Every structure is written in C-alpha cells, then in structure tokens.
Amino acid sequence: MAELQRQRLVVTRTLPQASQARIDKGFDGIDIIQWKEDRAIPRSEFLKMAKGADGILCLLTDKIDAEVLDAAGSQLKVVSTMSVGYDHVNVPDLESRNIALGITPGVLTEATADTTVLLVLAAARRLREGADAVIQGKWGTWSPTWLLGSQLTDKTVGIVGLGRIGAAVARRLKAFGVQRFLYQGTRRKEETEKEIGGNIEFVQMEQLLRESDVICVCCALNDKTKNMFDYKAFSQMKDTVVFVNTARGGIVDQDGLISALKEGKLGSVGLDVTVPEPLPQDSELLSFPNCLVLPHIGSGTLETRTAMSEIAIENVLSGMRGERLPHAHNA
C-alpha cells in the first residue's frame, strides 16, 4: 500500500504553554518545523523554513506576502495567524493562490477592551506622571491642585470602529457614567446600539472629533483607516481630549501625533500600538509626560493568548486536512 504523504507544518514562534505542549506532542502524519525562540523569526530564516510547507502558523509579526508564498511552494494550503488583525497578510496574494487564511476572532475581545479602558483611565488620571513622581522623589505633601485628571462621569466618548472590541469598550465605559457615545465606522450598527443602550449615535467623523471628551480607536487597519488620525484630525479634537489607540499603530500618523502633543493640542494619550513595534527608546513619543505607551499587550492575558493559539492550531490543522477553517478571515 502506498504510504500517505506526510505534511509539513511551519510554526513561527513558541506558543503559550498548553498549545506548545500540543505542538511538542505532534500530530499524526505531520512534520513540524518551529522557530522556538521568543523573538520574531528573521525573514531569511522564515523564507528557508517555509519551503515545502503545507500549513503555516504565524503571528502578526510575520509579514505574509508573495515572497513567503513562493518560498513555501504551490502545495501550501493554509496560513493561520494567531491574531484577529491580518494587516500583515497580503490577502489578494493568498486568494489568487487559493490559500485559506485563518484568524482568531472573538476570543480577544474582552482582554483588549479591558486594556482600552485601562489606558483611558490611566491617561485621564495621569498615571504615568503620578507613578514617575513617586519614583523620582517628587511626591510632596497632598495638594488640592497637583496632578488633576479628568473623570468619565457625564462625558462623551467617541469610538472609532464599533465592532466586537469597540462594543465591549462601550459596555464597560457605560458603567463609569458616560453620558453619550458617538461612533464611526463602515456603517451604522443598530443591533449593537440596542445592545449597548442609552445615548449612542452614529455620526460623521468630524462631529466625533469635535465633540468627544475621550476617543478610542478600535477599528482594523486597512487602506481606508491608514493614517486616519493625522495632525488635522488631532487639531479638530478638544484640547482636553483623552486619545487611546489599542488597534494598530498605522491608523495614527505618528508625526502628526507628535506635533499635536508638542503644541499642547491633546489632553492625554494612551497607546498600546505604535509604528514601528517595538518603539525605539529614543522615539520622541516617549518624551511627553501625558503620553503613556504600552508594548502591544492588549490581548496579553494567559487565558486569551491560550485561546488564540488553540484557534490558530485548529485553523491550520483544518486547512491542512482540506477542510473549512473554523475561523476564516472572510467567514
């Protein structure tokens, strides 16, 4: 009897413990080639490792384009990214070759919404300045006027992208007494409006920028949203605004943001995402006391990262078996 052809699965990083244990145990009929260091695989290594792959399990740090697909070869059936965002993947390149793309939707909604709220509160209450003051010995006696922030009660919050994460952010912020939500996106979402309840309105971007006390960026990065927040957009905001981005760094024109911060056009800023990542230590962005930057840890809980890697494994195995992916990008 002819031996069944073994397949090759390429995994570009060590996964969270439970999923890594499955990879270490292996899967019938599959040879696994894994980059086991806890840093992004260098491009040249990736191109070498990809050769002959039937499935690739990658991360958002791995650019997937024609060069990788060519290096892999025509047998490649599926790319499964351990992320909900897939702006690092050239989708037309995959589609033209009939290669499926798996993503990890749903499971990181709550963790990312938590991080968004964390940044809203941290930025609004000047957490970075307060914590730095303690460490630097600048904590004097209690003062009625020192380090005053702003609170959410009765405020207007603008959400750009009322998808799963945007809606979860709104649900959370409602509990802080927000008076009104404005949102922007590709279309009005009546079901989501009903679910959130209260005062929520789909408005033009200009109105959202002008009227919001807090702005949360929760949309995907694509050709339409790239550099959407530029100097002009920042100039239209209130000069007390709390601006938070937990989506993708590329949605913000960082030079425009730096100019706006220099000119005191913004109240405070919280970012979980930047361009590039990691942000160089000498980036001017880090010099503003009212700008708090986190290292892209929006989904960074053990529960969420494990759920993401489990979905990524299921997606890649399904694709390699020639089955429909449980979570395809276009589902």
Tokens 């090759």 belong to residue: 8
Report how many residues bind ligand DGY under the rule CB under 6 A.
7
* Residue 32 burial (C-beta neighbours within 10 Å; 0-12, 13-18, 19+): middle
Helix orientation angle between 109-124 and 127-135, rounded to the nearest 10 degrees: 70
Q: In angstroms, rounded to a whole number, what is the distance separating the alpha carbons of residues 248 and 246?
A: 6
Pick the closest to residue 305 from 83, 89, 102 (CA basis).
83
Query: Which DSSP letter does residue 139 get?
Result: -
**Per-residue contact string for residues 16-55; x = within reach of ligand DGY by CB under 6 A:** ----------------------------------------
**Closer CB to ligand DGY, residue 225 or residue 299?**
299
Closest distance to ligand DGY from the beta carbon of 56 (Å): 16
Q: Which amino acid does the sequence have at 269?
A: V
Which among 6-14, 26-34, 79-87, 170-178 is the span making contact with ligand DGY, rule CB under 6 A?
Answer: 79-87
Q: Which is nearer to ligand DGY, 216 or 266 (CB)?
A: 216
- Give the binding range for ligand DGY (CB under 6 A) out of 39-47, 81-89, 148-156, 237-245: 81-89
The SS3 of residue 268 is strand
- Of the candidate residues 12, 80, 83, 225, the single one contacting ligand DGY (CB under 6 A): 83
60 or 216: CB nearest ligand DGY: 60
Q: Which residue stretch of 27-35, 80-88, 120-128, 186-194 sits at the interface with ligand DGY (rule: CB under 6 A)?
A: 80-88
> What's the one-letter identity of residue 71?
A
Distances (CA, A) of 229 to 226, 233, 234, 242: 8, 5, 7, 14
Q: Tell me if 85 contacts ligand DGY by CB under 6 A.
A: yes
Least distance in angstroms from the C-beta of 251 to ligand DGY: 12
According to CB under 6 A, which one of 60, 68, 122, 244 is a site residue for ligand DGY?
A: 60
108 binds ligand DGY per the rule CB under 6 A: yes
CA distance 262 to 273: 20
Q: 172 or 210: whose CB is closer to ligand DGY?
A: 172
Which CB, 184 or 309, lies closer to ligand DGY? Answer: 309
Smaller CB separation from ligand DGY, 83 or 116: 83
CA distances from 309 to 30, 56, 166 (A): 18, 13, 23
Give the residue with the Cβ less far from ligand DGY, 7 or 274.
274
Contact of 298 with 85, CB cutoff 8 Å: no
Residue 48 neighbours by CB under 8 Å, 6+ apart: 71
User: Contact, 279 vs 252, CB < 8 A?
Assistant: no
Cβ burial of 37 (10 Å; 0-12, 13-18, 19+) is exposed
Q: Which of 88, 296, 327, 329 is catalytic?
A: 296
The answer to whether 163 contacts ligand DGY (rule: CB under 6 A) is no
Q: Rounded distance, CA 250 to CA 232, Å?
A: 16
Q: How many Å apart are CA 267 and CA 88, to the nearest integer?
A: 32
Is 225 a binding residue for ligand DGY by CB under 6 A? The answer is no
Judged by CB under 6 A, the residue of 23, 41, 84, 121 near ligand DGY is 84
Q: Out of 7, 192, 299, 315, which residue is the one contacting ligand DGY (CB under 6 A)?
A: 299
Told to judge if 296 belongs to the known catalytic residues of this protein, a careful annotator would answer yes
Pick the binder of ligand DGY from 166, 185, 298, 319 (CB under 6 A): 298
* Active-site residue list: 296
Q: Which residues bind ligand DGY (CB under 6 A)?
A: 60, 83-85, 108, 298-299
